[in-house]
Structure 1
Amino acid sequence: MRLPQPIIELVRRAILDLLTEIGGEHNDDVVARWLVGVGHRVARREVRDQLRWLHSQDLVSLEEVGPYLVARVLADGRDVSNGLMTVDGISRHKTGD
């Protein structure tokens, strides 16, 4: 199921917020479970797709480790999460605000 664009933008922001808050990196499985925990019903496949999109915007780096996709937030991704930078396709509203 394809998510509506406004939801995708919220999910992208939530991913950046999570990575920033936890010290910078985690794998797609943990990110997917965290998103469900904060109210975003998102499949792991969708999380992987959004991580790849964030990577294409130079906001995260990605590394395949076994069955996992490990994302590491980059400086611009932290700036988006901290409200210092905006990127089309990512919600301006911080997760939980």
Structure 2
Amino acid sequence: MIPAAIVPLIRRAILDLLNDVGGEQNHDVLAMLLAQLGHRIARRDVAEQMRWLEMNGYITAEDIGPFLVSRILADGRDIAEGRLVVTGVWRHKTGD
């Protein structure tokens, strides 16, 4: 379980990573990339946050075999690029 205080930061990091890697990735690879940023998050928690981002219209998420594959949408890209600020997602870029 992700501590509530950093959930918005993790959501932003997921959007930043998706934006940086070309817009599409699965939850397993995103968990590894988050670990490289210092966020050791369980894959199931990454998938849960991806579902939240999907529910709010920032990404799509599709189960393909054992993986949850996400694609960033226009609003998600705008958040990642600092053009849109929304409740529940950290406003500053992560990883810099």
Give the TM-score of the pair, scaled to structure 2: 0.96
Residue 4 of structure 1 is matched in structure 2 by 3
Q: Does 2:15 match 1:16?
A: yes
Give the TM-score of the pair, scaled to structure 1: 0.95
Q: Percent identity?
A: 53
Q: Deviations over 1:46-88 (max 9, x none)?
A: 0000000000110000111100000000000000001100110
Q: Where does 1:21-32 land on structure 2 (aligned, <5 Å)? A: 21-32=20-31
Show structure 1 runs of 5+ residues with no match: none
Alpha-carbon RMSD across the aligned residues, in angstroms, is: 0.8
Distance across 2 between alignment mates of 1:18 and 1:87? 18
